[in-house]
Structure 1
Amino acid sequence: MHVTHSPGDPAADPITFEDFLKVDVRVGRVVTAEAFPEARKPAYKLTIDFGPTIGVKRSSAQITEHYALEDLPGRLVAAVVNFPPRQIGKFMSEVLTLGFPDERGAVVLFAPDKAVPIGGRLF
């Protein structure tokens, strides 16, 4: 799953704290990363472990510009885990891996800057 925004986009409409709590963002550890040559835009297929409560989920991530496949396993990432799965070609993306655009719009992964237990929820 992926959504494209740019740094110049205006702020989104205000939401309530209850609305924020509906978005379940968890930290997970990349287990495997595979090429995704069938994707319309360059992307990888990620398998991410979110711990015993959420389990292992898959995600399509457009992160090919800044990350090599071999560098991704073991890396912590943040993802929205409560969106409905989304079919991307023949691949079912189950979570939305989060990132920010760099100055050219390429995705930079969003992750904690210290080690935290997988499955932890953003608050």
Structure 2
Amino acid sequence: MGAAAVASPAADRIAFEDFMTVDIRVGQVLRAEAFPEARKPAFKLTIDFGEPIGVKRSSAQITRHYTPDQLEGRKVAAVVNFAPRQIGPFLSEVLTLGFPDADGEVVLVGVDRDVPVGGRLF
């Protein structure tokens, strides 16, 4: 994919209340492991969101820019209130968030200061 494939028109305008129905939290990656059964290269992430959400799992197609060692201990943003999704033999419980680079590969959303796990995006 080139840069043209990354650009897309802005989504339709929504009310703030609609945005607040999407629960985006910061979590810390406890474990990152290969996911060879995935159709596209991916990692299986185990992420701690603190209480009351707890530890959740996510399949993330982020193998281009990250290694498991780089991911473990890292803070990530994820949608925690989508329905779980079965991806092959793995149940992905949260959607780890990122932006596409110029080639369409995922670059994770991060925070630039230390924040407690479980904090909600607003």
SS at match of 2:115: coil
- In structure 2, runs of 5+ residues without a counterpart are none
Report the Cα distance in structure 1 between the residues aligned to 2:34 and 2:70, rounded to whole angstroms: 13
Length-normalised TM-score, structure 1? 0.94
Length-normalised TM-score, structure 2? 0.95
% identical aligned pairs: 71
- Tell me which residue corresponds to 1:83: 82
Report the Cα distance in structure 1 between the residues aligned to 2:113 and 2:6, rounded to whole angstroms: 25
Alpha-carbon distance, 1:34 to partner: 0.6
Alpha-carbon distance, 1:111 to partner: 1.1
Aligned AA (1:62): Q
1:83-122 deviation line (CA, Å, top 9, x unaligned) = 0000000000000000000110110000111110000000
- The alignment's C-alpha RMSD in Å is 0.7
Report the Cα distance in structure 2 between the residues aligned to 1:7 and 1:90, rounded to whole angstroms: 30
Q: Does 1:100 align with 2:106?
A: no
- Tell me which residue corresponds to 2:23: 24
Runs of 4+ in 1 over 4 A off after TM superposition: none
Q: Give the length in aligned residue pairs.
A: 118
- Tell me which residue corresponds to 2:47: 48
- Tell me which residue corresponds to 2:61: 62
- In structure 1, runs of 5+ residues without a counterpart are 1-5
